[in-house]
Structure formats: C-alpha cells, structure tokens
A and B are shown apart, each in its own frame.
Chain A
Amino acid sequence: MGKAFGFFKKNILLIIVLLLALVPVAGVPSYQFYIIERGLQNAIIVLSLVILLGYTGLLSLGHAGLLAVGAYTFGILTVTYGINPWIALMVAPVVAAALGALLGIPSFKLSGPFLVVTTIAFGEIVRILILNWEKLTGGPYGLGGIKSVIPSAKGMYYFLLVLVFLVSVATMRLSKSRIGLAFKAIKEDEVAAEVMGVNVRRYKLLAFTISSFMAGLSGALFACLTNYLNPDSFTFAESATYLLMVVLGGMANVVGAVASALGVTALPEVLRFMVRSRMVVYSLVLLLVIRYSKSLNMKTLRKVLGKPEGSTLGGGE
C-alpha cells in the first residue's frame, strides 16, 4: 500500500500543477492572478516549515525574518549594486541559509517554548535592524524599483509554478532520504536518536539551514512579485500566518502545504468573500483542527489496530 500511496501522492501534485498551469490562459483578472502568484511564493516558505517543523519537530515563529533576509538581499543586490537578478536569486537563499544556521545553534540546547521564543526574538531583531539600517535597506522608506527575474507576467507565473513543483518534489524526496529519516528520528525522540547514532546537532543545524535556504528563496521571489520592500511585511504576524498555513496543511504533508498556502493566501480574494474576517475564520479552523486532530486519529487507529486507546488520568504529569 505504501507504493500506491506514494504514486497517488505524486499524481496529486501533478494534477494540481496542471490545473494551476491553466490559470494564465483562463482569463483570470489581474489582481486575482497576482494573488495566486503570491500563494505560490508562500508555498515555498510553507514547505520550508514542513521540513523544519513537520519533519524535524522544530517550531519557528521567526521565519518572516528569514524571508526578509532573502527579499532584501535580492533587492539590495539588484537595485543598489546592479547585479544580475539571476545571480541575486541564487545568492539570496544562501545568505538566508547562513543566518538561519545561526538560529540553529540555540536549538541544540533549547527546546519547546524556549526555542520558540528565541525564534520570535530573532525575527523581531531582523525586522528592527532592517528598519533602522537605512543606508542599506532604505529603512522605513523601503526599497523600491526591484525588477523581477522574468519581466513578463505569464513567464514569471510559469517560472514560479515550476519552482514550486521542483521544491515540492525535492521535499518529498528528502522525506524518504536518510536525512529525512534522521530528521524524523529527532522529532520522535531526540535521546533515542542520539543513542542510535544520529548526530542530533548536525541534523538540527542541517534542518535549519535547508529551511532557511528555502525561506530565503521565497523572499527573493517575494521581492520579484511586489517590486518593493518594506519592513512592515516581515512582522511576527506573518510568521504566525506561515505557521498557521503549515499546520492547516497537515504539518508534514507536502501537498497539503501547497494547498494550504494557496488556499489561505488566495481563496478569499478569488472567491471574494470574507476578506475582512478571514484571519478569524482561519485561526478558528486551526483551533478546531488542532483540538480534534487526535479524535480523528483515534477513530482510524481503532479501525486499523482494533483496540481502544486508553486515556490516562491526570494528563499533566
């Protein structure tokens, strides 16, 4: 069943991509078109969280900071230094990865809320630095005039689509690779993993590095799409939204992540409803999904294993 499962999954992704490929020729109005592009761009950072949180179990609420690093690197290189956008597109993720690796170091010692607060602090520090380092980033005036790697709207769209597809496939491959298994071992039980020979520190660092690389790529693409950067786009609220997207998508589920990113970003605008109240609805859905995730599982577990799962007394031990 495993093989069929994998095949089915791969097919789903292809179907989605093919449907999305129809968008530019379906006469979608310009704003909705742009919003779908943003959804695709968001999919990449959500996938980065799939790797960090879904596979490795490391929760980051500071990913907007990494997005910012990627975006501003791209913007500064192309606008201030006139570097070829393609080169900038390749450099930006690397810079983000380097910074993200730094973030990985606290994760050796810290876990749970301690790590999360560190990531929040990281995100805020990045934002404030960008805000105040006016010479480099334009500070509150922002950085404008950024040209995309591909000037044509349709071209950019297909480029994004292809990128999302490749990144999705790569993530799925990662999941089954040795590295992916190491990640999952760490998520399940760090101590046991270490005992079994997994170099926990090295893999945590790797998880952060890969995740930050992808976030940086997403950031550079963000710069291409909006052509203007401002620190307001990279606040804690954005980091929380990416977390919301990855959890709604199933945390370790690649297709879910893409669907969630597109849905959360684009759905209200496309269907033109609940645009104002959407965050309330999304967070409510998330609350419910979290709350009832286990009871859904218990039902399937009972079916599969055929025995009731005992509930323990006084769970707060």
Chain B
Amino acid sequence: MSLVTFVQLIIQGLNMGLIYALAALGISLIWNATSLFNFSQGDLLTIGGYVMLTAFSYLALPYPVAFLITVVVMGVAGYMLSKGYFYPMFKQNFNPQIILIGTVALSIFVRNGILLTWGPDAQTYANPFGSKAVEILGVNIMPHYIWNVVIVAVLVVALQMFLRGTVIGIAMRAVAQKPVAASLMGVKVEQMVSMTFLLSTGLAAISGLLVAPIIPLIPEMGGLLAIKAFAAVLIGGLGSFAGALVGGVIIGIAEVLFATLVVSTYKDVFIFAVLILFLLIRPGGIFKADISEKV
C-alpha cells in the first residue's frame, strides 16, 4: 500500500473517529457526574442531526442560526431530561440497573419517535463546508475533514476551559467528584447534574449535525454509531476526557485499516473483539481515569 493511500485512509479514519469521540465524550460526562452509562447517546446524536435537518433544510435557516438552534434545543432537552426523569431517580436511590434500563428505553423511544416523525427514508443536507475535495500531494481532503478537526478541537478546549475556569464548571466537577461535600458547600447538586446532561446532549447534537452531511440520516443511525461510541469510550477509559478522544480516534482508524488490510465485512467483528478483549484484560481502558483527572 502506497504512502498516499495510507495517509488517505488515516484521514478517513480520523474523520469518523472524531464523531465517535464526541459521542464518547458525552457518555463520559454523564458517567462522571452520575455513574450512569447513557445507552441512548447514539440516538440523541441522531435526533440532533434530524433537528438540524429541520432547521437548516426544511426551514431553510442560515447555517449558523440553525446550528445554534439545534444545540440550544438539544441542550434544553437534555436539561429537562435530567430534571424531570433521571435526577429524581438518582435522588430516590433507584437501583442503578433500572436507571440503565431507562436509558435503553429512552433509546428505543427516540429511535422510533424519529421514524414516526421524519419517516424511514435516508435524508441529508448539503455540506456547508463545500462538497469539492482539495488534492494535496495525491491525498484527497474534503473541506469538512479540516472543519471537523477544528470544531472538535475548539469544543474540547472550550469544554476544558469551562470546566476548570468558570464557577459553574468547577461546581459541576465538584458534584462529580464529591457530591455530598459539594452540596454541603451550597452547590445545587440537581442543577449541576442537569447542566452535565445539557452539555452531554449539546455535544451529541453537534456530533449529529456534523455527521449528517457525511452519513445520511436514518432512524437506525443511533444504534450503529452507538456501539462504536461505546467501544471508543470503554477502550479509551470511561470517565476520561483524553480517553474519549483517543478511544474514538483509535476506533475510527482501526476500523478503516482493518477493512482495507484484512476484510471489510468483518470490521465490526474486529472492533467488538478488541472491545471484549479490553473489557476482560483492562476494563478501565487506556486512560484509567484518575479521580483528579475527572471532568
């Protein structure tokens, strides 16, 4: 395989990997704050894409406006989800497994709700970053590859700054690490948990709207992406920021390389096998999240 081909594949893998990474990040955020593994993250990502479709395509709003609306709508939805549904269950000491099943139920609900509302056909919208590739030294680079990297980088940096630099951010981290102490210090635990949900669904929305021009939206998309996101977050290290990013990129690239070098049809089996191996040998993942490192 030529170097050019190799580089091309790496870029493709990186592109998808970033999408997985964003989803993984959302899962880690909620996990840190609540010890809840959100099985519906993939479907929230999908509905984010559909909301953007409605705003950008159906209502023909300008891209930045539609972007903002999508993120706000999804963020608020996440906040309400926490306030009205999940937080009360945490507060009442529900069996964690039951809450976990709740996220599965949510996943089914969102997926079928999308089917009912937007229909089963694959839908997409024009890539706002342009649809012509640029060729650099034999490697084809679509504008959105660069844009996606930029957006994700900005997001990650902004998130870190928010969580470490602002009062709310610090409060959220406090709640994640030591909820009792935090509440004794006057932090409104409920609000912080809900803020975490808001961030998580906001992230899901962004990954969803970045994905839609690349991979047409179908109601089942949540399921397909979710499993890869789960693999990313578990291999990278559940609860770890760096882990989500690294895990996502690893999965994205490994997928493409395996598909090319070995056989494409078993690439998912390969990813799952790697996942199971990690779970058996090193369930903490690559970046076994340290308490001090928690988001």
Using CB atoms and an 8 Å cutoff, list the residues of chain A in contact with chain B.
57, 59, 61, 106, 109-110, 112-114, 116-118, 120-122, 124-125, 128-129, 131-132, 236-237, 240-241, 243-244, 247, 276-277, 279-280, 282-284, 286-287, 290-291, 293-294, 311-317
Task: Report whether B279 and A276 are in contact in the complex, using a CB–CB cutoff of 8 Å.
Answer: no
Q: What A residues does B275 contact at CB under 8 A?
A: 117-118, 121
Complexed CA–CA distance, A215 and B242 (Å): 40
Top 9 closest pairs, chain A to chain B, by CB? A113-B37, A283-B109, A315-B90, A121-B272, A283-B108, A279-B112, A314-B179, A286-B105, A315-B91
Q: What A residues does B287 contact at CB under 8 A?
A: none
Q: What B residues does A57 contact at CB under 8 A?
A: 97
Instruction: Take A117-B279, A287-B105, A313-B180 as given contacts and tell me if A132 and B37 are in contact as well, using a CB distance cutoff of 8 Å.
Output: no
Complexed CA–CA distance, A312 and B230 (Å): 31
Instruction: Take A116-B100, A290-B101, A311-B92 as given contacts and tell me if A124 and B272 are in contact as well, using a CB distance cutoff of 8 Å.
Output: yes
Q: A237-B223, A240-B107, A279-B108 are in contact. List 13 more A-B contacts (CB 8 A).
A: A106-B280, A113-B100, A118-B276, A128-B265, A240-B108, A241-B108, A247-B105, A280-B112, A283-B112, A290-B98, A312-B91, A314-B179, A314-B189
Q: From residue B89, how far is it (CB to closest CB) to chain A in Å?
A: 7
Q: From residue A130, how far is it (CB to closest CB) to chain B in Å?
A: 11
Residue in B106, B234, B279 with the greatest tally of chain A CB atoms within 10 Å: B279
Task: Report whether B102 and A291 are in contact in the complex, using a CB–CB cutoff of 8 Å.
Answer: yes
Complexed CA–CA distance, A167 and B275 (Å): 35
Task: Report whether B183 and A243 are in contact in the complex, using a CB–CB cutoff of 8 Å.
Answer: no
Would you give 18 A-B contacts (Cβ < 8 Å), ordered by A?
A110-B280, A112-B37, A116-B37, A117-B231, A120-B227, A121-B231, A121-B275, A121-B276, A128-B266, A240-B104, A277-B116, A280-B112, A282-B108, A283-B109, A283-B112, A286-B108, A316-B175, A316-B179
Q: From residue A1, how far is it (CB to closest CB) to chain B in Å?
A: 25
Interface residues of B in 87-121 (CB under 8 A from A): 87-94, 96-102, 104-109, 112-113, 116
**Is B273's beta carbon under 8 Å from chain A?**
yes
Q: What A residues does B182 contact at CB under 8 A?
A: 314
Complexed CA–CA distance, A109 and B34 (Å): 22
Complexed CA–CA distance, A294 and B90 (Å): 12
The number of residues on chain B lying at the interface, defined by a beta carbon within 8 Å of a beta carbon of chain A, is 55
Task: Report whether A313 and B97 are in contact in the complex, using a CB–CB cutoff of 8 Å.
Answer: no
Task: Report whether A293 and B193 are in contact in the complex, using a CB–CB cutoff of 8 Å.
Answer: no
Residue of B whose beta carbon sits closest to that of A132: B265
Task: Report whether A118 and B179 are in contact in the complex, using a CB–CB cutoff of 8 Å.
Answer: no
Complexed CA–CA distance, A125 and B104 (Å): 20
Residue of A whose beta carbon sits closest to that of B187: A314
Q: From residue A14, how far is it (CB to closest CB) to chain B in Å?
A: 31
**Is B143's beta carbon under 8 Å from chain A?**
no
Interface residues of B in 1-54 (CB under 8 A from A): 33-35, 37, 39
Q: From residue B69, how far is it (CB to closest CB) to chain A in Å?
A: 24
Q: What A residues does B85 contact at CB under 8 A?
A: 287, 291
Residue of B whose beta carbon sits closest to that of A113: B37
Q: From residue B28, how far is it (CB to closest CB) to chain A in Å?
A: 12
Task: Report whether B179 and A59 are in contact in the complex, using a CB–CB cutoff of 8 Å.
Answer: no
Task: Report whether A314 and B266 are in contact in the complex, using a CB–CB cutoff of 8 Å.
Answer: no
Q: What A residues does B238 contact at CB under 8 A?
A: 113
Q: What A residues does B65 contact at CB under 8 A?
A: none
From A61, A237, A280, A311, contact of B116 by CB (8 A): A280
Task: Report whether A117 and B183 are in contact in the complex, using a CB–CB cutoff of 8 Å.
Answer: no
**Is B293's beta carbon under 8 Å from chain A?**
no
Q: What A residues does B175 contact at CB under 8 A?
A: 314, 316
Q: What A residues does B189 contact at CB under 8 A?
A: 313-314, 316
Interface 1/0s, chain B 181-216, versus A by CB < 8 A? Answer: 011000001000100000000000000000000000
Task: Report whether A290 and B116 are in contact in the complex, using a CB–CB cutoff of 8 Å.
Answer: no
Task: Report whether B283 and A110 are in contact in the complex, using a CB–CB cutoff of 8 Å.
Answer: yes
Q: What B residues does A113 contact at CB under 8 A?
A: 37, 39, 100, 238
Complexed CA–CA distance, A287 and B112 (Å): 14
Task: Report whether B96 and A112 are in contact in the complex, using a CB–CB cutoff of 8 Å.
Answer: yes
